Chain A
Amino acid sequence: MGKTIAEKIFDSHYVDNPSGDIHVIRLDAVFCHEITTPAAINDLVSRGKDRVFDPSKIKAVIDHVTPAKDSKTAIQGKILRDWAGRHQIRDFFDIGRNGVCHAIFPEKGFVRPGYTIIMGDSHTCTHGAFGAFAAGVGTTDLEVGILKGVCAFHYPKSMKIEVNGALPKGVYAKDVILSIIGKISVNGATNKVIEFSGSTVDAMSMEARMTICNMAVEAGATSGICRPDQTTVDYLWEFIKDEFQSRASALEAFSAFAPDPDAKYDSMITLQAETIEPLVTYGYKPDQVKTVREMEGERVDQVYIGSCTNGRIEDLRAAARELEGKKIKDSVRGIVSPATPLIYHQALEEGIIKIFMDAGFCVTNPTCGACLGMSNGILAPGEVCASTTNRNFNGRMGKGGMVHLMNPATAAASAVKGCITNSEQYMHGR
């Protein structure tokens, strides 16, 4: 019988089947950040088991609160930093070299097709864009991953979501995933892997694939996953060129993790890209989705462009196209956080940072900060934020605040107008 991508990865990483459909699998990478890892480190120390299974397979970054904002966050950073030092974890990214975990780890070439990855962060599903099984876990799973290099999961059921056709101008990957979550709801994919496919996904850049996989967890999915293809190989080539004779041979090797034509799916959904228009969330759940047209004119106090969902170079370009030569409304606070130093550099070289600054945006260092109201950009009660992030939960960006999720072009257009509105690129393309 044919297998899905997730089944192929699980079968090639099998360690044990302790009971029922529980599979313990071998991990190719364990990613760490300073919010959920220190408790795991402290627990390992207190148990007398301060060890790591393989320092070359552990990658760590300080990203949620950076620079540290108080003693507590300084201590969290220090625990991670000291631990990385004493265990010779070479891939540790501290301030000046750090970025949002789900942007910087792929950018460094740490994610490969067929990999198994865990991290103490729910948006770890982002890395499925490379044809990897990547899942967010809690601190205890992370702790065992660090110590033993294994993790337990139910053997994965997959939901196939096929998107076909060409996206209209001004419609982005963010709209595709919001459209999907709106259809299947916040628990529509719980305990399943979403396998994204179809000509729209095939035509997407790695950045766009990361955007759709990033929000798979907002539908409850264990991981989002895309079939590795030429785009995957081209993105990774600089990191893998010593391992393969040619791009063609890399593609052939990675094709081992393509789904079989007769793979069995738990359910299947098909979307037509031409029918998708710019979307925005309206409530406190990511499945509460309306078209921007329906929400046109809703006041915004703050506009945030960044995060592991939409803080990559393509996202900044999309926003800059909208902002070029314009000023944001006086009543709006605009904040942009390029997700990594490399993205920041690229944006500087392309003149994008200047466009943001000329428009009146505040440009911050790479950090998760504002997305979860942890270190900057916090809303006052009653305030509204147009945001390119992934969660609109009650209190997410500050107690009493409201978050509307949208694509970067819509967010930029809304900053200019002071209220939710469609981007010019979308309106002109109609």
Chain B
Amino acid sequence: MKNFNGKVLFLDRSDINTDEIIPAKYLTEISKEALKPNLLEDLKLEGFSPSADIPGKSIVITRANFGCGSSREHAPWAFEVNGINLIIAESYARIFRQNMFNCGMMAIELPKETIDHLFKVYQRKEVTIETDLDRNWFTIRSGSRIEEIPFFISDYDRSLVLAGGWVEFADRHY
């Protein structure tokens, strides 16, 4: 199973599309590792700098309809090779969300109010999250503040995460 703990990168915008996550010109790369320097290169977000903001981060918190657009699995891969295996958002585009779980990564949805709260309280701070997949809790730490937030993951999505992805799951069952 992959690592779902670490520091948080906040991306404060809805409808971030897969062209912004990894532009099409990099889809000619065969190795996932080659995508590493180009993650979020074309993201339209005031004040965001990929080289300054991405290193050291393991989790993304963002808004609605994350990962809309192309079906490119290069989008989850570009996060994966940067050590980001968990995305927490208000909602996702279907294909991106499925690609995340198919890779054994997690795309967790939280209610809009909870996402608003996380941005309001933590966006400008250094924040770490620990994921407890037995109890379905995120433990959020920032300075001396500790907060626990429950999340929902379906049995099916959990089985993909535990299996390490859809290829392993399907190979065992079909």
Q: Are A138 and B155 in contact (CB under 8 A)?
A: no
Q: Specify which of A73, A136, A147, A393 is in contact with B19 (CB 8 Å cutoff).
A: A393
Q: Which residue of B lies closest to A390 (CB)?
A: B69
Q: Specify which of A65, A137, A147 is in contact with B98 (CB 8 Å cutoff).
A: A137
Q: Does B115 contact A (CB under 8 A)?
A: no
> Among residues 56 to 113 in chain B, which have CB atoms less than 8 Å away from a CB atom of chain A?
64-65, 68-73, 76, 91-95, 98-99, 102-103
Q: Which of A37-45, A194-202, A244-252, A407-415 contacts B (4 or more CB under 8 A)?
A: A37-45
Q: Specify which of A76, A187, A394 is in contact with B28 (CB 8 Å cutoff).
A: A76
Q: Does A168 contact B (CB under 8 A)?
A: no
Given A19-B156, A373-B23, A374-B24, residue A75 in contact with residue B30 (CB < 8 A): yes
The CB with the most chain B CB atoms within 10 A, among A65, A139, A147, A399, is that of A139
Given A140-B166, A373-B23, residue A190 in contact with residue B93 (CB < 8 A): yes
Chain B contacts of A421 at CB under 8 A?
none
Q: Specify which of A18, A141, A394 is in contact with B20 (CB 8 Å cutoff).
A: A394
Q: Are A18 and B159 in contact (CB under 8 A)?
A: yes
Given A16-B173, A18-B173, A47-B167, residue A122 in contact with residue B98 (CB < 8 A): no
Q: Does A55 contact B (CB under 8 A)?
A: no
Q: Specify which of B19, B91, B94, B167 is in contact with A144 (CB 8 Å cutoff).
A: B167
> Among residues 1 to 45 in chain B, which have CB atoms less than 8 Å away from a CB atom of chain A?
15, 17, 19-20, 23-25, 27-30, 42, 44
Q: Specify which of B25, B44, B170 is in contact with A150 (CB 8 Å cutoff).
A: B170
Question: 1/0 per residue A362-406: CB within 8 Å of B?
Answer: 000000000011100000000000000001011110010000000
Q: Are B155 and A152 in contact (CB under 8 A)?
A: no
Count of inter-chain pairs, beta carbons less than 8 A = 142
Q: Are B174 and A374 in contact (CB under 8 A)?
A: no
The CB with the most chain A CB atoms within 10 A, among B29, B64, B70, B99, is that of B70
How close is B8's CB to chain A, nearest CB, in angstroms?
Answer: 24
Q: Does A87 contact B (CB under 8 A)?
A: no
Chain A contacts of B174 at CB under 8 A?
15-16, 24, 148, 150
Q: Are B70 and A187 in contact (CB under 8 A)?
A: no
Given A20-B156, A186-B15, residue A76 in contact with residue B30 (CB < 8 A): yes
Q: Are B42 and A191 in contact (CB under 8 A)?
A: no
Q: Are A19 and B15 in contact (CB under 8 A)?
A: no
How close is A306's CB to chain B, nearest CB, in angstroms?
Answer: 16
Q: Does A214 contact B (CB under 8 A)?
A: no
Chain B contacts of A285 at CB under 8 A?
15
Q: Does A35 contact B (CB under 8 A)?
A: yes
Q: Does B144 contact A (CB under 8 A)?
A: no
Q: Does A4 contact B (CB under 8 A)?
A: no
Q: Does A70 contact B (CB under 8 A)?
A: yes
Question: 1/0 per residue B137-174: CB within 8 Å of A?
Answer: 00000000000000000111001000001110011011
Q: Does A284 contact B (CB under 8 A)?
A: yes
- Report Cα–Cα, A47/B25, bound state, in Å: 28
Q: Are A140 and B165 in contact (CB under 8 A)?
A: yes
Chain B contacts of A24 at CB under 8 A?
174
- Report Cα–Cα, A186/B19, bound state, in Å: 15
Which of under 10, 10 to 19, 20 to 34, or 35 or more describes the interface residues of A? 35 or more
Q: Specify which of A16, A18, A144, A374 is in contact with B27 (CB 8 Å cutoff).
A: A374
Given A148-B170, A372-B24, residue A141 in contact with residue B94 (CB < 8 A): no
Q: Are A220 and B65 in contact (CB under 8 A)?
A: yes
- Report Cα–Cα, A76/B29, bound state, in Å: 9
Question: 1/0 per residue A305-336: CB within 8 Å of B?
Answer: 00000000000000000000000000000000
- Report Cα–Cα, A19/B154, bound state, in Å: 8
- Report Cα–Cα, A76/B12, bound state, in Å: 35
How close is B96's CB to chain A, nearest CB, in angstroms?
Answer: 8
Given A220-B94, A395-B42, residue A36 in contact with residue B166 (CB < 8 A): no
Q: Are B28 and A220 in contact (CB under 8 A)?
A: no
> Among residues 6 to 59 in chain A, which have CB atoms less than 8 Å away from a CB atom of chain B?
15-16, 18-20, 22, 24, 35-36, 38-39, 42-43, 47, 49
Q: Are B154 and A39 in contact (CB under 8 A)?
A: no
Chain A contacts of B173 at CB under 8 A?
16, 18
Question: Could you list which residues of chain A lie within 8 angstroms of chain B, going by C-beta atoms?
Answer: 15-16, 18-20, 22, 24, 35-36, 38-39, 42-43, 47, 49, 64-65, 70, 72-73, 75-76, 79, 120-122, 124, 136-141, 143-144, 147-148, 150, 152, 186-187, 190-191, 220, 222, 284-285, 372-374, 391, 393-396, 399
Closest 5 CB pairs of A and B: A138-B99, A138-B73, A140-B102, A19-B156, A395-B42
Q: 16 new A-B pairs (CB below 8 Å) besides A24-B174, A39-B30, A122-B70?
A: A35-B27, A36-B72, A70-B28, A120-B73, A121-B70, A136-B95, A186-B68, A187-B68, A190-B65, A220-B65, A220-B93, A220-B94, A372-B70, A391-B69, A393-B69, A394-B20
In the complex, 16 of the A-B residue pairs with CB atoms within 8 angstroms, ordered by the A residue number, are A35-B72, A36-B27, A36-B71, A42-B30, A76-B28, A136-B95, A138-B98, A140-B166, A152-B166, A186-B65, A187-B64, A190-B94, A372-B19, A374-B25, A393-B17, A394-B20
